[in-house]
Amino acid sequence: MVIGFLLGFVIGFFLSFSFISSSMQGFLQSFLANNSFLTSNGGPPSYPVLGCLISFYRNRRRLLDWYTDLLSVSHCQTIVVRRLGARRTVVTANPDNVEHILKNNFKNFPKGKPFTEILGDLLGCGIFNVDGELWSTQRKLASHEFSTKSLREFLVKTLQEEVDGRLVPLLESAMETEEVLDLQDVFRRFAFDSVCKVSLGYDPCCLDLSKPVPPLVTAFDTASEISAMRGMAPMYLVWKLKRALIVGSEKKLKEAIELVHGCVLEIIRNKRRLSKKRKPKAAPISAVTISCRGCYPLATKRKS
């Protein structure tokens, strides 16, 4: 009943909006076009109430390129993005600002709830999506592991095996058969294989095109893409409403995340069982991953 009411309200709103008279539409278009003073220096065109919602919507599929274009004409290499239904965003490419934010005054610039909400269902409370004490604790653990000689040697060995054993043969085979390869897809597969080997001690064999793509890879790609689309949504309310109702892309995201978490947990369980029977030949980072307990991605707590 509630869902029916909401859908009826939304449909009614858009139907009503579609019947705005042509004269009113002409007035709005003329007003927005003539008020050039509303455009910030170097930033996107911004209008009363709407902010830069129109420009943001038009460029939602190329946000990074759009930001780059705006920053290139900004005298201070910094722009402010204000739009209806979202928090104000400051984008900067000024080296002094970047140094101040990421180095000199890092503690005063946390990621913040708007950022962590977007990626929270996928990344949970891992190091890439937390602030404060939780971030410091995980950073200390990670920095200690990444500073060890054994890990550096393992990384070099893993990358060498992946390049010599799969990447180069794949490119040579494509050259001999004159097959066209999508290099972006090839390097994505290469990266996924390498990361899984180092972090989980698991080989998904993505670069072996003769084998089917593992469900973990497909689910992770889907979850990553939809999570990124949240940040591209002109209004945050859109994806939050879809998540609350578990419909559309948010339903696919929920299913993909559950599959990713299920696959990773199964890998960890298998590694733990093996470690109890014999000393595992696992990567240093995978050993830490398997032995760590505590905070786990939020999506596991949000099952319906």
pLDDT of residue 291: 46
Q: Lowest mean pLDDT of 21-30, 104-113, 212-221, 251-260, name the range.
A: 21-30
Answer whether residue 284 shows pLDDT above 60.
Answer: no
Task: Give which of 184, 168, 220, 183 is closest to 199, Cα–Cα.
Answer: 220
pTM value is 0.69
List, in order, residues 6 or more apart from 9 with CB less than 8 Å away. none
Q: What is the spatial distance between Cα 189 and Cα 183, in angstroms, rounded to a whole number?
A: 10
Q: Enter the tokens of residue 212.
A: 């089917």
Q: Which amino acid is at 70?
A: L
Q: Is the CB of residue 60 less than 8 Å from the CB of residue 234?
A: yes
How many CB atoms lie under 10 A from the CB of residue 291?
Answer: 11
Q: Which residues pair with 45 in a beta bridge?
A: 39
What mean pLDDT value characterizes the chain?
78
Q: Lowest mean pLDDT of 55-64, 83-92, 113-122, 280-289, name the range.
A: 280-289
Q: What is the spatial distance between Cα 219 and Cα 264, in angstroms, rounded to a whole number?
A: 12
Higher pLDDT, 261 or 17: 261
Chain centroid, CA 47 distance in Å: 29
Answer whether residue 287 shows pLDDT above 60.
Answer: no
